[in-house]
Amino acid sequence: MIPLERQVDILARLIERSRAYFDLYKFIEGSDYRPQIIDQMNDYFWFFRFQGHILRYVLIVELGALFEKTNKSVCFQSVLERAKSRIHHVKHAELTQVLEDAHVVSSKVSTLRNKAFAHRDSRLDFDDAFKEAGITLDEIESLIEASKTLADKLCDEFEVQPPVFTTVETIGDCKRLFRQLGSEV
């Protein structure tokens, strides 16, 4: 079995990537920037054609992995179970509560992951899976923040580098790229 410290590190890196995918998706598909960059995206149609889908896909798959319910994977539930004997019971209870508080939104992500992406439920069209999940970008962002809270506390407990969000840098790079393509973003 992978050492617990390494599992905590894996969770932290998954969260970093999830946040980066979220920031990129929101930049390309969200209402804050899309109107300003759509012409440049259309100029490079074959490059940007599937960007939103790709970013949404990897975001949901990686974020969903954090909230799996199996003890055979590196996810919050299994790491917390394995960590039970190594951290103070009060700290463990706090972490478990954060995980439980995230359940409503994480179950929506799991619905998407399992029905639209990972397993492609034959009873649901891709768009129907999104309707069934009924998740918003704000909920996804709140789940990422809850994930970071969990990871920060686990990283502190096991002396692992916590996840670092680079939203400002990511958006800055996106703006610079689109300015080079002629946008006034």
pLDDT per residue as tens digits for the range 47-83? 999 999 999 999 999 999 999 988 889 999 999 999 9
> Per the confidence metrics, is the pTM higher than 0.75?
yes
- Of 110, 97, 37, 128, which Cα lies nearest the Cα of 70? 110
- pLDDT on residue 88: 96
Show the tokens assigned to 27. 């930049």
What is the pLDDT confidence band of residue 178, given thresholds at 50, 70 and 90? very high
> Could you please report the per-residue DSSP string of 58-102?
HHHHHHHHHT---TTS-SHHHHHHHHTTTS-HHHHHHHHHHHHHT
d(CA 8, CA 108): 23
pLDDT of amino acid 18 = 97
Considering the segment(s) 4-180 as one domain, its CATH architecture is Up-down Bundle (1.20)
**In this predicted structure, what is the pLDDT of residue 125?**
74
Q: What is the mean pLDDT of residues 126-144?
A: 89
Q: Is the pLDDT of residue 116 over 90?
A: no
Strand residues in the chain grouped as ranges (E): none
Selection from 151, 61, 73, 173 nearest residue 114 by Cα: 61
